Structure 1
């Protein structure tokens, strides 16, 4: 039986990603607030992740395309190996106000991803030479899919969501197909973004959640829905919610929930939403380097149509830092 989840599940790790493996461990990664490394920890329960030993399995390069702003790593299992997908920027853009991230992959053949060697498999090239980030993968009908956020200079905004099939875990085999762009009022506050996609397959449907607006109090989640037998590379297969499905909740002191993923309860019976949020709105200094987006988790409910009901972000039950000091 799933124990009550004590939130936050991990302090100061934005863009959280949890992979529940067949070995009984939850593997956790997320953006380190200094953005200079990729970290990994594991525990048998979600509640134990906060105190689990964390290891840095990869560090940014001294220079070149993998040397700045390491963002949003995700750990996945594919073809009997471990893969981490992440975004990195070159050191050539640090003196201006633009981001120039691209997406990259690490591979580890060890049974335990906390051990062994992580090998750089290179950039996932999409055919578009623009800002790209927040890649995730999923498997459906014996095909591996790649979903990510990328900018199109001909479309207003900072990033749209795209999907493609993969030849292998680091190479696309189909052209990118745009699924959604920022256009609704709740997607364009501060920044025009659709980013942080996460995939959930359940009740004969495929759901893609994503986050919109700037990463402060306005940050919130939307959802795309397709039937599992539809052509997932056809934009017409997807229905976009016109309203956010998960957003700030002042009564519970949770602000800017988003950049989520999905996992399951310890007994496998419930779907768990994992996301980040802050518990205050007054930010000191550059919001990019304000470290207190805490990783959080809560159970998802389901309605009579088989669609997820996310509810409200629940209040904190654990101590959280209130200063911009990195733990």
Structure 2
């Protein structure tokens, strides 16, 4: 990164839910929700900082009607099982809150040039009667000890619906092998502003520990990040393997003019420094519904591991 680069400042404007993936060849890929919620875009660069000025390629556009025709949210690009996949959520024009998780598969080795095809909604395990029956979004995937896992947010309950985070083992890039397991529900006051929400999971594995950050509360200034930790050798499908932090690990900072930080991903810069990629706002007064206000910007934070845990400081 350029020594004059300003961390925790708007980096890529009006790109929420930012996801950066660095491939084995060193190339960086960037995708995010666009304010129109109507398409999936990709950028590619040889450097992390360079993603800012790269042109965007639209690799997929929403349908006119039916599934995947409204609220195209939180895409992530990953390489697993020998192929490129993009995981995202979408609603239906006829039922705009019928949000479900979907997946695209690239038909070649170059995600910027080769065609993408729809694999449809993520397929749950044969024995799973519950997953993706309700509002479901923000899926991420990660690998630990040769096994791939899928984590997502899904709403449950009647009346005031609650967004929880669930995990399952994957069979392939678009099929789950095990039933859902509840990882975390919004237990604490800081997870319950506006809505009771746990969403936007992201995973980093270091020194035998699996750290899962997530976002909580509504998408305005109360949005913040929590974290769970598990031993990499433990059964990650056992909820008791995970320990939840009592307080947020990252929250709004008026001093730094960063409000509502959340929905993050992890990467490293060219020098190997750990980088948190997240979105936040630079104003407290939000015009209209925060969901449709476009001013959530992608930002970067350099962070370190202290006493074995990632510590996020402005």
After TM superposition, the score normalised by the length of structure 1 is 0.90
Secondary structure at the aligned position of 1:33 is classed as: coil
Q: Which position in structure 1 is the counterpart of 2:138?
A: 134
Q: Which position in structure 2 is the counterpart of 1:14?
A: 16
Q: Is the 8 A contact 2:223 2:261 kept in 1?
A: yes
Q: Is the 8 A contact 1:5 1:298 kept in 2?
A: no
Q: Which position in structure 2 is the counterpart of 1:319?
A: none
Q: Which position in structure 2 is the counterpart of 1:251?
A: 255
Secondary structure at the aligned position of 1:50 is classed as: helix
1:116-152 alpha-carbon deviations (Å, 9 max, x no partner): 1101011013442111000000111111100010012
In structure 2, distance between residues paired with 1:163 and 1:156: 23
Indicate which of 55, 58, 65 corresponds to 2:57: 55
- Structure 2, gaps ≥5 residues long: none
1:79-113 alpha-carbon deviations (Å, 9 max, x no partner): 2211000000011224xxxx220000000032221
In structure 2, distance between residues paired with 1:267 and 1:86: 30
Taking the TM superposition and a 5 Å limit, the aligned residue runs for 1:108-123 are 108-123=106-121
Indicate which of 199, 207, 213 corresponds to 1:209: 213
Q: Which position in structure 2 is the counterpart of 1:321?
A: none
Shift of residue 24, structure 1, vs aligned partner: 2.3
Q: Which position in structure 2 is the counterpart of 1:74?
A: 76
Q: Which position in structure 1 is the counterpart of 2:202?
A: 198
In structure 1, distance between residues paired with 2:190 and 2:240: 22
In structure 2, distance between residues paired with 1:291 and 1:5: 24
- Structure 1, gaps ≥5 residues long: 313-327
After TM superposition, the score normalised by the length of structure 2 is 0.94
In structure 2, distance between residues paired with 1:45 and 1:92: 41
Taking the TM superposition and a 5 Å limit, the aligned residue runs for 1:1-327 are 3=3, 5-6=5-6, 7-94=9-96, 99-126=97-124, 127-128=129-130, 129-153=133-157, 157-268=161-272, 270-304=273-307, 306-312=308-314
1:33-80 alpha-carbon deviations (Å, 9 max, x no partner): 000000101112222212111011000001001100000000000122
In structure 2, distance between residues paired with 1:4 and 1:194: 35
> Normalized per residue, which structure has more strand?
2
In structure 2, distance between residues paired with 1:125 and 1:155: 27
In structure 2, distance between residues paired with 1:239 and 1:311: 21
In structure 1, distance between residues paired with 2:4 and 2:267: 15
**1:22–1:31 distance in 2 versus 1, CA, 3 Å:** same
Shift of residue 153, structure 1, vs aligned partner: 2.0
In structure 2, distance between residues paired with 1:256 and 1:137: 24
Q: RMSD of the alignment, in Å?
A: 1.5
